Structure 1
Amino acid sequence: MRTVAVVAAAVLVLTGCTARTGTPRPAAAPPQSAAPSLSPAGELCGEQVRTDALPEWARAGFSWDGSGTKHVYGAKGDIMAILFGYPLTSPPAPDRGNKILWVAREPIERGGDLEIRAALAGTTVTAERTVAGGPGPSIIDLPRPGCWHLTLTWADGADSLDLTYGVP
């Protein structure tokens, strides 16, 4: 009987059997290959800026696969921050803004906003920002340099990610 249970468990693991509801989803995000960065204060930040091709779901408006464009996946893979203002700085650099294009994996209900709650690592400093109309283009300025943990919520989703803001 024990052999049957072990074989059944192995089959489930090998076939990737999971409970599913609705449409199957691809993996949340490809494996992260870049190492986490250090913030200006020296703390390890979970941010992993990538420059590989954007996933199909994040390419709207691009005339190519987005290779070379800096981006960060949300922890669950439900949102992506495309960093057009890289490197992000606090205060903002005088010659460019902290422009971030937020792209949700699933089509979103229009009318809701993207709410951002940001917490500076190792401190009690927090900030809140709103992107009107849900995930989309934005300028996100935060009050101090460092590693910021962002909790993001929108009409039909939620995710989180870390972003490093350096000194201009």
Structure 2
Amino acid sequence: MFAGIALSLTGCATEYHGNNSEIDGTLWRQIAAFEDPLNRSLYQPWVNEPGAYLDSLQGEVWSGSVASAADLDLREGGVVLYDTSSTDSTAALSVFIASGPRPDVPTDQGQEYKGPSQVFTCYRMEAAFSAEAAPSVGRITVDDCPPALIDLMPDGAAFASGEVFDG
């Protein structure tokens, strides 16, 4: 299992990296429940203009200030969009997704669960727009999330890099 200690980056003792991270299936599905609808909007937008693209995305919008982070409600998990920008032909934003609390159920293998209480991930998205084609959208994985958002996570939460949820 690729779990390591990196308290300085995320404030968490456990981290998951790579698509073979052995992350708990229940937590994986909880993240997917938030990420899959967002991904449809990110990768298959129904608009072809950067500002409208950003406006079409579903999630709580965070200004980036420490004080405003307390206004975000992630108790049951959710998506936070922040650090958004656009030009005439590009759009960019950062995404933070929290799984919400893991229910008290056995693992997919029927064993007692002994892992993080929930997981969170973050990454950067960039989209290039042109009149001739659908937007070209790419994701940039990152290994650190904003401390103000991490502080909203309960004790026992763990960071999982974006590629953990690929596939």
**Is TM-score (shorter-chain normalized) higher than 0.5?**
no
RCO comparison, higher one (Cα < 8 Å, 6+): 2
- Which structure: greater strand fraction? 1
Larger radius of gyration: 1
* TM-score normalised over the length of structure 2: 0.26
